[in-house]
Amino acid sequence: MTPFLSLFWVLAGIAILVVLNLKYKFHNVFSLLIAGMFVAIMVGIPADKIVGVVQQGIGSIMGHLALIIIFGAIIGKFMTESGASQQIADTVIRHCGTRFLSTGLMFIGVIFGIAMFYEVAFLIAMPLVMNIAKKADIPYMKLVIPTVVGATMGHSLFPPQPGPVALISAFNADIVQVYLYGVVVIIPALFCAGVLLPRFLPGISRIPLNSMIKPIKELAPEDLPSFRISILIPLIPAVLMILASVVKPLAGDGSELTRVFILLGSAEVSMLFATLAAMWFLGVKRGMTAEGITHNVTNSISQISNVLFVISAGGILKQVIIDSDVGDSIVQLMSHVPFSPFIIAWLITAVIRILTGQGAVAAITSAGIVAPMIGAFHLNPALMVLAVACGSNTITLMYDGGFLLFKETFGISMKDTFKTWGLLELINSVVGLGMVILVSQFI
């Protein structure tokens, strides 16, 4: 099959996915299943092999991300219930003052975005931001934008979030490099989208608020966990992952110490430690009963079950692309395009994100397409992770979950949503890609 025809059937499958979602209101799981099977048939996968491909696609994602997503939801729940998120916000804002308030909120957004699933981070942060805007007498959107910028970038670029973890696994990237280069990529993006956009966006102070969220009932300072515990718990996975990568070259590949730290630094085990720490320090140590802890854990898992299945179903199309060698065909096709491979990878991911409305699904699906580019063009895998991650965090349309969450939370118009959410996502994505290309010139 020619590369053009392979690409055509992949795009046709994505088009079917969009039509089923938008016109016929199919659930994403069924849309992804139907689209994946359609592409599998059209690219020539034997009929008796298709079910196995579907099972492998779902299983590869479910097996790798299920525990990470579940643990992230549990950590977010305990941080909310205990007041740990409020402690982080209050402490950062107290040290930033009014002048650097937006910078402090971006910092909070990044931490929440790394530690929790995006919707959880958003719903935890927004009541805090609304209270802060009211106290400081600042137009609410000037503080909302920096916080959302931080959360979306933290969630999209850094492990242990599902998208980056899946990309690191698919590209066999070094996790320390992802963190190090990610910091270089994220800082200019945060500045452009979180500082400059709110400052120069026309009419931002006059966007009306018809908020569906209620101001949170703040706990008294003496009832909050310490800032040290509040900030340490969500950062435990990042610390363990980095330590594992640092110990490996120092102790040697075959040493017992390296094997122990590889175990501790795995996404699942590091998230388990963070979850247990949250349950102990934010639950047991604060007087929560065993029944209360079980109740919070159960609620956390039930709230993200739909997200878990949708992301897992996204692995179907990815697996079809891998098993049919469509990715190799697309690499051959793109090798004649006079653009950087990072731009091509970003474009592929951005198009899938815009069409499907799912950031993690876009990252996972495009991973199967762009992975062969790394070897073909001798690219740094960590930079490819970041390029695809930036593509998964781009401007979205009105059927995207993040778009609707932003719009309905504040009760604003479609126009104002495109002007705020749409622009901040686009700036995030484009500036991030630009930094990836810049860094690639020196590596």
What per-residue confidence (pLDDT) applies to 301? 87
For tokens 């969009």, name the residue: 18
Which residues, including other chains, have CB under 8 Å from residue 260's CB and lie 6 or more apart? none
Environment class of 383 (CB within 10 Å of its CB; exposed 0-12, middle 13-18, buried 19+)? buried
- For the chain, the structural domain boundaries read 58-163+219-307
Percent of the chain's residues with pLDDT above 70: 93
The amino acid occupying position 406 is F
- The CA radius of gyration of the chain, in Å to the nearest whole number, is 22
Alpha carbons within 13 A on the beta-carbon side of 164: 28
Work out the average pLDDT over 168-179: 92
Would the pTM of this model clear 0.85, i.e. be above it? no
Least confident of 45-59, 93-107, 311-325, 327-341: 327-341
The DSSP annotation for 270-339 comes to HHHHHHHHHHHHTTGGGT--HHHHHHHHHHHHHHTHHHHHHHHHHHHHHHHHHHTTHHHHHHHHHTTSSS
Distance of CA 138 to CAs 53, 90, 129, 265, Å? Answer: 53, 16, 11, 42
The predicted-structure confidence for 183-218, as pLDDT tens digits, reads as follows 999 999 999 999 999 999 999 988 988 766 655 667
